[in-house]
Amino acid sequence: MLSNSSVRSVFGASRSRVGGSFPRVNVSAPFTAHMQHPSPVSSYCFPVGNRKWISVYGYTQAKALVYSRYGEPKDVLHLHKHSISAPHGTQVNLRLLAAPLNPADMNQIQGVYPSKPPFQTSLGTEAPCAVAGNEGAFEVTATGSNVTSLSKGDWVVMKQTGLGTWRTHAQLDESQLIKIENKEGLTPLQVSTISVNPVTAYRMVKDFCDWDWMRAGEEWLIQNGANSGVGRAVIQLAREWGIKTLNVVRDRKTPEETEGLKKELRDLGATAVFTESQLLSGEFRNIVHDITRQGKEPIRLALNCVGGRSATALAKTLAPGSHLVTYGAMSKQPVALPSGLLIFKDLTFNGFWVSNWGDKNPQLKENTINDVLQLTRTGKFKDIPVEELRWRWDTECAELSAGVQETLSGFRSGKGLLRYEAED
Ligand SMILES: NC(=O)c1ccc[n+]([C@@H]2O[C@H](COP(=O)([O-])OP(=O)(O)OC[C@H]3O[C@@H](n4cnc5c(N)ncnc54)[C@H](OP(=O)(O)O)[C@@H]3O)[C@@H](O)[C@H]2O)c1
């Protein structure tokens, strides 16, 4: 790949980004290590969509939201412009369709997430940096001569997290990508949000509890953060698999808003929805007793992405021998467990991290994605609500980073989603 400064030297500092003529540019600066193309003596470049430029050698201009130190997204994210060469060998050139703004992405930028992409200079930034974002849908724009499984126009997602998805274009190796087979009937939103939250939900519900399939409709799971991307996926998968769900959300500002949110989740297939204040009240024990037919329908799995008192309250509802799986810590409070639950109820407490799981089970991850995409195609898995942040070629960095920062506030109507509106 070419750095922005390299591009300037290749294309000439005085070239205009908008214009109809094909400027001729003399190249005198040596190629840097980022340049994968042999140094041409001279080159033509031409405008695409009146804004962007591709040289006769196939270089594409790209922008990436990068950070070279940890901190709040609004303070540390900057937009880096660079060039991407034509793909060689097994390289694949990609254009962003959409990428979600997940809580883990924010934590990564803040430097408080366990996995930290290495800071590198491969995009030609002055300081080593990482491209933000872990999940997204991309379209293949060109393939190297040794690429066998992908063609121009295919849609792909990243095989692993940590590759950096908040960028207009990327060049990756074929081996780093999962092809979306049969993209017909799917949207960029659905594909861009498939590989983290639905996979997390799917594996947690399937892998931590030995459900008695003969008792379909008579066993429960309970979860907090039920309106999150993961929570919504849990509700829909559990509905498909005959598991009842007891869902907890945070109270909204007004009873009407709270009721609206509960209804939204019931419409997805939630069996019952309660608020956090109900969960933490002395009444909750009776509520659970009633809806589980005096415990005849056991709650066998608890999924916790909040922590603190909410996690403790979930654990107290579990039937003996059940599991509580912690996969997030939105309240930033530790999980505190009464000893009695461990001693007398033989509960098991697990954690789940989809990045780690996916690295160890790449084929199963792909199968899981395909399973959920099939449910999506048949209308059984609904879109998550999103607040779109539209990214055009000339969108300013301040607008993007402010939009990213915004997603850190709670009580949102939908997940932040970067949608790239390509002009090339
Ligand atoms: N371990 C893994 O492999 C894995 C994978 C995916 C996600 N996760 C984690 O799962 C959680 C949900 O992720 P997501 O992408 O599904 O989320 P999301 O769609 O962005 O939604 C965020 C959720 O967090 C809730 N929330 C925000 N601040 C909160 C607070 N202070 N206390 C309690 N709840 C709060 C929100 O509730 P309100 O609407 O009430 O604000 C909402 O339900 C995050 O912690 C994320 O890191 C973990």
As a three-state string, the secondary structure of 131-169 is ECCCCCEEEEEEECCCCCCCCCCCEEEECCCCCCCCECE
Cα-based distances in Å from 396 to 160, 272, 390:
29, 44, 11
How much distance in Å is there from the Cα of 368 to the middle of ligand 1? 21
Q: Where are the domains of the chain?
A: 37-193+388-420, 197-356
Predicted pLDDT at 149: 97
Q: How far apart are CA 225 and CA 221, in angstroms?
A: 13
Over 80: is that where the pLDDT of 47 sits?
no
Which residue, by CA, sits nearest to atom 39 of ligand 1? 411
50 phi and psi angles, rounded to 5 deg? 65, 5
What does the pLDDT average to over 284-288?
97
Neighbours of 33 (CB within 10 A): 10
How much distance in Å is there from the Cα of 330 to the middle of ligand 1? 6
How much distance in Å is there from the Cα of 190 to the middle of ligand 1? 18
Residue 230 gets which letter from DSSP?
Answer: H
Instruction: Identify whether 327 is a catalytic site residue.
Output: no
Q: Is 264 helix (H, G, I), strand (E, B) or coil?
A: helix
Render pLDDT for 381-401 as a digit per residue (tens, 0 to 9): 999 999 999 999 999 999 999
CATH class held by domain 37-193+388-420: alpha beta
Structure tokens at 384: 């998550």
Ligand 1 binding pocket, CB closer than 6 Å: 102-104, 196-197, 200, 225, 227-230, 250, 305-306, 327-328, 330-331, 352-354, 410-411, 415
Predicted pLDDT at 53: 52
Render pLDDT for 239-266 as a digit per residue (tens, 0 to 9): 999 999 999 999 999 999 999 999 999 9
DSSP lists the bridge partners of residue 43 as 25
How much distance in Å is there from the Cα of 303 to the middle of ligand 1? 12
Which residue, by CA, sits nearest to atom 22 of ligand 1? 228
Q: How far apart are CA 62 and CA 48, in angstroms?
A: 13
Neighbours of 221 (CB within 10 A): 28
Render pLDDT for 125-143 as a digit per residue (tens, 0 to 9): 999 999 999 999 999 999 9
Nearest ligand 1 atom, CA 356: 3
CATH class held by domain 197-356: alpha beta
Render pLDDT for 160-195 as a digit per residue (tens, 0 to 9): 999 999 999 999 999 999 999 999 999 999 999 999
Structure tokens at 256: 């009407």
Answer with the residue of higher pLDDT: 216 or 64: 64
Render pLDDT for 306-362 as a digit per residue (tens, 0 to 9): 999 999 999 999 999 999 999 999 999 999 999 998 899 999 999 999 999 999 999
The pairs formed by 114-122 with CB atoms below 8 angstroms and a separation of 24 or more are 115/161, 115/162, 115/355, 117/162, 117/163, 117/164, 119/68, 122/1, 122/34
